[in-house]
A and B are shown apart, each in its own frame.
Chain A
Amino acid sequence: MANTFAASAAQPLARRSAGLPFAAVVLAGVAATTLFAGARFGLMLVLGLGFGLVLEGLRFGFAGPWRQMILRRDPGGILAQLLSIGLVALVALPLLGANPEELIGSQGRIGWAMIGGAFVFGTAMQVVLGCGSGTLVNAGSGNAVALVALPLFCIGSLLGTLHLDWWTNLGALPPIVLSGGSGLALTLAMLAAVAAVVLVRAAPGTRRIPGRYVLAAVLLAALAIANLVVAGQPWGVVYGLGLWAAKSAAGLGVDLSASGFWSAPINAERLHSSILTDYTSLTNIGMILGAAWISMRRTGALDQPVPRLPARAWIAAALSGLVLGYSSRLAFGCNVGAFYSGIATGSLHGWVWFAAAFAGSVLGLRLRPWFGLEPRQ
């Protein structure tokens, strides 16, 4: 009896203390980044941790809600995404309009390669069930498929930068930005219109946003606005992943100076500077660590065995990672950089990305059983 009581009393204590050494190491990393790179970079790492904690802690994301809508006509997650984007737009668009010298939006060029890239990204995203942020968060929380996909995502993103000139020259418009009061009104009206379509298509009894998703939407919006205020640019993911592969390649002796992308002043500067001074790298690192920490706090979450999948499933995960990286580079971003931040900062390419990637997601969900990632129906 006494042993039973002691065991049950020890469980909450063990749960409270789970991950404390890891949290201490992470906080030491934040302090070191602040000290040796600068306070802004330490703060960006904290924001990244926040993104990871919210996405994993509240089990919120981008690929999953799209899957729920397509397969079950459950609109809760996608409505929360639209809500979060709208909240960011309400603050970001006036800020961008008033401070054009200090802040920049997530602007991309609409073109053939961009549309095709977004479609292919949507397909691959549903094959591995993870977008840019999802792959990072899933890898941090112990998902083996995401861990296999992540390094190839980075390599794919690097390959995409090397071919971006060729793809963009197939035809692309200059960035089109909805700005000012009319831009904000149009953005909010379009978000409301998409929400209305989603609600009409939703299954009866599902037309609501769960409280957990509302909380996630509000917290993500707050973090995304902070990202813009601190970094001067919106939340993104893909750029950092391509940079990691580029720096690794350069370190191994690959000459990237002939690349139009990596010889452009901003990108060349990033290539020759520390990762700890690159905003998207810092938030990416924070997302992995934040998700890992939350998983340690969940009783038994990390004790689950890795699922036994057929060889073709692992090959599909690896190839999908490569395709995710390559296609998101052509599409000027993933769900975060193009869809979330693009729409929230008025870039029309975010809307086009959304339409193309959603269509690709429908195809991706049909492909999953063929790769052994789900039972065939």
Chain B
Amino acid sequence: MTRRAVAAIACVMLAALLAFDLAAVPPNPYDAPALFALGSGAAPVGGFCGAPASVPGN
């Protein structure tokens, strides 16, 4: 087996994940945020690595 096959498997795994997810939850383009968060006036709502275990107080 060559590195090409390994890279191909990685890409196929990624494609399978995306297909699985798109079938379950298709994105909604009408719900899209502004292009840039900076200047949008909206609070950041994305998940991030420092996310706490649960909401403080819960």
Contact = CB atoms under 8 A, between A and B. Distances in A.
A279 B9 CA distance: 23
* Residue from A37, A102, A107, A261 having most chain B Cβ neighbours under 10 A: A102
B14 A304 contact: no
Given A260-B58, A264-B52, A147 B29 contact: no
Interface string B34-48: 111111111111111
Given A37-B29, A144-B1, A277-B27, A292 B49 contact: no
B7 A267 contact: no
A270 interface: yes
Contact of A140 (B5, B7, B38, B48): B7
B17 A244 contact: yes
Contacts of B17: 244, 248, 275
Nearest to B41: A102
* Residue from B13, B45, B51 having most chain A Cβ neighbours under 10 A: B51
A178 interface: no
B38 A232 contact: yes
Contacts of B38: 95, 99, 102-103, 228-230, 232
Q: How large is the interface on B (under 10, 10 to 19, 20 to 34, 35 or more residues)?
A: 35 or more
Interface stretch (A2-10, A180-188, A210-218, A235-243): A235-243
A302 B3 contact: yes
B47 A243 contact: yes
A304 B37 contact: no
A266 interface: yes
A142 B6 CA distance: 5
B25 A338 contact: no
B50 A107 contact: yes
Contact of A236 (B6, B44, B49): B49
A164 B55 CA distance: 12
The prevalent SS among residues of A at the interface is helix
Interface in A275-311: 275-280, 285, 288-289, 292, 295-296, 301-306
Given A106-B49, A231-B44, A302-B7, A37 B36 contact: no
A290 to B, nearest CB: 12
Contacts of A248: 17, 20
B49 A332 contact: yes
A332 B52 CA distance: 8
B54 A41 contact: no
A142 B27 contact: no
Contacts of A239: 47-49, 51
B16 to A, nearest CB: 10
Contacts of A36: 26-27, 29
B27 A274 contact: yes
Contacts of A292: 7, 10-11
Nearest to B43: A101
Contacts of B51: 239, 261, 264, 266-267, 332
Given A165-B53, A306-B6, A251 B20 contact: yes
A338 B49 contact: yes
B33 A333 contact: no
B8 to A, nearest CB: 8
* Residue from A244, A265, A266, A303 having most chain B Cβ neighbours under 10 A: A266
Contacts of B6: 139, 142-144, 147, 306
Given A139-B10, A266-B45, 15 more contacts: A35-B29, A36-B26, A38-B31, A41-B32, A43-B35, A106-B49, A161-B53, A168-B52, A232-B46, A248-B17, A274-B22, A280-B49, A304-B3, A306-B6, A347-B50
6 contacts: A99-B38, A232-B44, A260-B54, A263-B54, A280-B46, A288-B14
Q: 5 closest A-B pairs (Cβ-Cβ)?
A: A38-B32, A142-B3, A232-B37, A337-B49, A260-B54
